[in-house]
Structure 1
């Protein structure tokens, strides 16, 4: 399903965190949100999965406003993996993943065969098929991350909303997660700090800065040295990845863009 964010403004504590946001994630597209800390990425994702209500504008799932849906109906279509993730669940891994089936069940209803198969399939997808009996709280940060992603998969949603899903994952599991998301070909809104991961994964990128979208397009169109300097405050070259052909950002770790600006002004 297509997600349309239509002129959304979100106000918190009397201040506009997002202002006039418009972007589209087409059906089956992986749309990335990138930007500095505080640019509004998480706020926008929370608005999509109904944790926050916009002051103006609307979020449309296909042709329906998500605010017009009931909570279970919205959860059958949109699964979220937020940054704020419980780490002290006194549940087994299987019980945590099974929480993803709640939008399909009546209150206090037990699991049926469809639920059990959906949970088992989700655990296989994230590479943890033998973890069902383990205690969630005893897992490493990366293992918990994969279990919570399995919970989102168990919802069998049309849209995934993922806020920094590669946090706490080692390099191998980051690569495996990105490959898994590509294989899903499910409409996905994802925020990522790692710009090279975003360039590799996403069909389109939307750059947020100070609560507004300042650039949208393919990674190759968006990730320019000029934008990286202006929005992220870094000096970088953008080259072709020798293995994949994706844009690859080579950062200058010696000279911040702000110092380059002062040096240029001093020599003028």
Structure 2
């Protein structure tokens, strides 16, 4: 799984830039709302809700906001109806892109997503055109400064917890799990006293597409434009960008 850190760089860059906490919390609340509406308001009995709540907490969303979203989903909804869709396409120079949305107006969202692709040298494709390039995985990140464990000790604990793989760099331990094992692995590591910089079930590309500076700049503009859309929940891509280029663009 070499390259996951590169894939995650743009996510971290965008997260560091994004001062619009209200927009982020709105998207997280919508995801919680959908999970609670479809599977009930008890995270212990609804694994999708549990994952959505964990994602919200990892982004420092207040508990009151989380509770309010669950209560809205399980109470009087005033006719609110969201649908989940995933759009697939290609960014600049053939970078594979998947866009997960929650929307109350499919036609509006489809037009907005298509416009973002067209404006940034990309094109929207048919369902399935890039999905085969991605694998769904649980993903946990531990800041090495928060633990005394060295790489060998950490690896043993990760294996014992049931994870599939671990990658290490100077700053972090990155842990990967099967989607169905994510909650169990996270719980086991939490019992061991570990806290997480990131924790989610997400999509990882099996191959990467490298771009030069001009291509990376176009791709970043596409990502920014999509993330500014309130209906867009997640964006997955297989861009391989040089860290120096990303730092310069940020």
TM-score of the superposition, structure 2-length normalised? 0.27
Q: Report the structure number with the largest CA radius of gyration.
A: 1
Q: Which has the higher helix share?
A: 2
Q: TM-score, normalised by structure 1?
A: 0.26
